[in-house]
Amino acid sequence: MRIAQLPWYDLKSQREANDAWWRGIAGHLRALGVDDVPDELLRDGRFADNWRRADLLLSQACGYDVLYDASDAIVPIATPCYGAEGCEGARYRSFIVVRADRAWQTVEQLRGLRVAINQVSSHSGNNAMRPHIADLHEQGSFFGGVVETGSHVDSLRAVHEGRVEVACIDVVVLALLRRCASPLVRGLRKITCTRAALSPPYVTSVRTAPALRDVLREALRRAVTDPSLQAARDELLLRDFAFYPPESYAELEDFEAPALATGYRELPAPRRSPLG
């Protein structure tokens, strides 16, 4: 049996909607003649490990992952359009945030503070910050420390608990947390927003046949206009899909390369070179 997972915005408060969304996609895949479609989303194991399975049918990943660390395992097939503050069509941003009870108002005033990143391979929590720091660093450093937390939720928790002072958070995550009135989004202040970039893509295994990739795109087209899935889409803030060639995600290098050229290397870079 093939596997499917939608790990990117699978917060506890959104799991029921994600399950309904997947069942709708699965129904459209079956109607299009695809066999071996899983009934349920896989939530076991690390998503990065699951991306390397030959039986991966559908998942979601960071654009940074498809450009670097997982470029040999997954390929983007569709770019979601979200209805969150900071999103425009198929593009999204991050907010650089601090606690509202702190005095800092500008990025320059964050010098020497501790920053949380969710993962090294994250664009929204790591790479998106680079252009804001590139002209401010001194001998390659700006922050007083960089802490990798594992998730945007954990980065927000670290800010609230005072383990760090700054975090860069995906605007879709912030919007979903606001929908469920999470205490993690209370008492925060936005310092600035990052430049827009292509949203985290839906992906499939590089071993998925081109014909099946086309069917997956058609199933997503049908699902995103299916009236019976409107409630699930609304809960997930999902509005539409755009379809770009995989190489479009090379634009994320434009955040990284200029900063590296100035000598700013404090925020960690992915572990592989992009496929050329």
Q: Which of 133, 163, 195 is the last residue of a domain?
A: 195
Rounded Cα distance, 18 and 46, in Å: 18
Same domain, 170 and 122: yes
Encoded tokens for 28: 């459209």
Helical pair 15-31 and 210-223, crossing angle rounded to 10 deg: 120
Count up the domains in the chain and report the number: 2
Count, residues in the chain: 276
Domain extent at residue 111 = 94-195
Q: What is the pLDDT along the chain (276 residues), one digit of tens a residue?
A: 899 999 999 999 999 999 999 999 999 999 999 999 999 999 998 999 999 999 999 999 999 999 998 999 999 999 999 999 999 999 999 999 999 999 999 999 999 999 999 999 999 999 999 999 999 999 999 999 999 999 999 999 999 999 999 999 999 999 999 999 999 999 999 999 999 999 999 999 999 999 999 999 999 999 999 999 999 999 999 999 999 999 999 999 999 999 999 999 999 887 654 443
Contacts of 138 (CB under 8 A, 6+ apart): none
- Tell me the residue type at 264: Y
Sign for the pseudo-dihedral over CA of 72, 73, 79, 82: negative
pTM of the model: 0.95
CATH number at 206 reads 3.40.190.150
259 lies in a domain?
no
* CB-based contact 216:204 (threshold 8 Å): yes
Same domain, 234 and 98: no
87 lies in a domain?
no
Rounded Cα distance, 37 and 165, in Å: 44
Q: In degrees, to the nearest 5, what angle opens at C-alpha 270 toward C-alphas 267 and 272?
A: 150
* CB-based contact 218:35 (threshold 8 Å): no
